[in-house]
C-alpha cells in the first residue's frame, strides 16, 4: 500500500444556508446560474420541518435539508454540504 499526501486546493465559492421559508429563493438562485438543463432544484413538503432543496449535480441528485449549505463554484456547479462539514472547511472572505 502506498500512502500519498494531498492538499485540498482553496477555492472561492458562494454559499447559502438552507433555512425555512427561503427554499424558493434558493431554488431560483440555483436555476438562474446552473449549467445543467431543466429544473435543478425543487421544494417538496410545505412546512418548516419538511423543507429541503434537491440539487441536480453531475454526480446525481443531492438533497440539502434545513441547516445544510448549498454551494456554487466558478465553474457553475452546485452541491450541498452539511453544516458541520461547512464549518470545518469553509471560511468567509473579508468584505472589501
State the burial class of residue 21 (Cβ atoms within 10 Å of its Cβ: 0-12, 13-18, 19+): exposed
Determine if the pTM surpasses 0.85.
no
Query: Do the beta carbons of residue 77 and residue 35 sit within 8 Å?
Result: yes
Please give the residue that has the higher pLDDT: either 45 or 70: 70
In a domain, 11, yes or no: no
In a domain, 67, yes or no: yes
The tens digit of pLDDT for each residue in 55-93 reads 888 888 888 988 999 998 888 889 999 999 998 888 887
In this structure, is residue 5 part of a structural domain?
no
Euclidean distance between CA atoms 53 and 18, whole angstroms: 8
User: What is the tally of structural domains in the chain?
Assistant: 1
Average pLDDT, whole number, for the chain? 80
DSSP conformation class of 40: -
Structural domain including 25 reads: 17-89
- The C-alpha atoms of residue 87 and residue 84 are separated, in whole angstroms, by 5
Amino acid at each position: 500500500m502506498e500512502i500519498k499526501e494531498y492538499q485540498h486546493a482553496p477555492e472561492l465559492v458562494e454559499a447559502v444556508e438552507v433555512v425555512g421559508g427561503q427554499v424558493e429563493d434558493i431554488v431560483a438562485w440555483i436555476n438562474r446560474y446552473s449549467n445543467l438543463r431543466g429544473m435543478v432544484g425543487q421544494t417538496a413538503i410545505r412546512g418548516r420541518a419538511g423543507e429541503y432543496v434537491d440539487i441536480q449535480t453531475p454526480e446525481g441528485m443531492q438533497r440539502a435539508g434545513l441547516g445544510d449549505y448549498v454551494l456554487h463554484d466558478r465553474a457553475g456547479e452546485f452541491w450541498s454540504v452539511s453544516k458541520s462539514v461547512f464549518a470545518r472547511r469553509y471560511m468567509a472572505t473579508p468584505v472589501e
